[in-house]
Amino acid sequence: MTFALIVVAGYLAGSCPWGYWLPRIFRGEDVRRHGSGSIGASNVWRTYGRSLALPVLALDFLKGFAPALAGVLLVSHLCGIIAGAAAMAGHARPLYLRFERGGKMVATAGGVLFAVAVWAALALGVIWIATFVLTRYTSVASVVSAVALPALAVAFGYPWPVIAYAAVSAASIVFLHRANLRRLREGTENRFSGLRRRPARA
C-alpha cells in the first residue's frame, strides 16, 4: 500500500505545472503561447527572465526529487525510481492541464536522479553545464546529458533498477526534444543569450 501511495503521490506532484502556474499568477499570461510552447524552465526564462525561471526550475526539480527520495527511504530503490518516473510522466502530461503537453522532464528527471543516484547526478550536472557553456543551447546540453546518463549509471555501479531508469529516462528526454533536434538541423533553434527575450508567438 505504501508503495502505491508514493507512486500516486509522485504523479500528482509531477503534474503540478509550475511553468504554467507562475507566469499565470505573476504575469497573467499563458507561457504556452510563447516560444516553444513548453511549460519548462527554458521557455519561461526566454520569455520572462530568471525571476520566474529559477523558481520554476527549482520546483520542477523538487517534484521529482521529493517522491523519489520518499520511495527510497520508506520502501526501496525500486519504489523511488517508479515514483520518480511517475513524477516525470506527470510533468510530461499534467493532470492539472487535462493531460495536455507539459515540459520535457529534464529538471524533474534530474531531481529523481539526485534522489536515487547522487554521484551519477553530480557527474551529469558537470556534463550539462560544460555542454551548455560550449554550445549555449539548453536543448543540446539536455540531449547530451540524457545520452550520457545510462553510461554513468553503469560506471558508478548502481543496481539494475537505476540503470533501467537511466535508459528509459534518456530515451524519453531525447524523444521529447525531437522538435529541438529538427530546429538544430535547420539552424532555427534558439540559442540562449542570458537576457530576457519575448519570442514571437508559436
The domain locations on the chain are 2-186
Q: Is 198's pLDDT higher than 70? A: no
Q: Is 3's pLDDT higher than 70? A: yes
Query: How many C-beta neighbours within 10 Å does residue 25 have?
Result: 10
Over residues 40-81, the pLDDT tens digits come to 888 999 899 999 999 999 999 999 999 999 999 999 889 999
Mean pLDDT along residues 167-181: 87
**Which three cell numbers mark 100?**
495536455
Reference 8, options 67, 65, 59; nearest CA is 67
Q: Rounding to the nearest 10 degrees, give the CA dihedral for residues 160, 127, 174, 148.
A: -40
Query: How many C-beta neighbours within 10 Å does residue 94 have?
Result: 24
**Which three cell numbers mark 53?**
525561471
Task: Kindly indicate the confidence band of residue 28, based on its pLDDT and cuts at 50, 70 and 90.
Answer: very high
- Around 34, how many Cα atoms within 13 Å sit in the side-chain half-sphere? 23
Structure confidence at residue 115 (pLDDT): 94
Structure confidence at residue 200 (pLDDT): 42
